[in-house]
Structure 1
C-alpha cells in the first residue's frame, strides 16, 4: 500500500526543506475549520509517511488520499494538487473500493463511527 503512494508522489517532493514544508502545508483559507483540520491531519500523516517513513494507518492514509483525489472537489494546492494528478489513474476507483473493503480499514471505520 505504502509503495503505491511513494511511487506516485515521491518525485513531487522537493529536496529543499522550506519547499517541502510549503508543499505539505498549502493555504487552506477557503475551507471550513473542520475540513481544514482533516486536511492538515492528512497532510501531516502523508509527510510522516513520505519524508520520515513512519506514517500511521497506511491503509487509511491510502484510502483518504485516493478519496480526495477521486471524489473531493475542494481545490487546494501543494500535496493535494499532486494527489489529484498522481492518484487519478485508470484503476484508481477499483483500488479505492478494495481499500475500503479491507477488514482492518472497515473495523477502524466502525470503531470511529461508534465513538471508540
Structure 2
C-alpha cells in the first residue's frame, strides 16, 4: 500500500554570466510511497531528472541543480479524493518569512 507524502525541494539555477545572481525554486511534490524512506528515494529521483542545463535567449548557459531536499513527510490528510491539508509547518519570525516570500514582499522575479 502506498501513502501520499509531501516533499519540499529546493532547486538552484546558475548562469555562466558572472553578474547574474542565482535563482532558487521551491517545489512541493506529492509522491506515493509505502514509507518515508521510499518517498525520499522517489523525491531524489525526481530531483535528478529535474537537473538540466540550457541556453537562454541571451546566450547564457543556465544550469538547474538540486540544492537540498528540505522535508519529506506523510501528507496531513491521506484521502486525496476530497479537499485535503497536505503539509503543515511552523515558524516564529513572520518578518523574515515576508522578506523571503516574493508573493508577500512584492519582489519581481
Same fold (TM over 0.5): no
Structure with higher helix content: 1
Query: TM-score, normalized by length of structure 2?
Result: 0.25
Query: TM-score, normalized by length of structure 1?
Result: 0.24
**Larger CA Rg, structure 1 vs 2:** 2
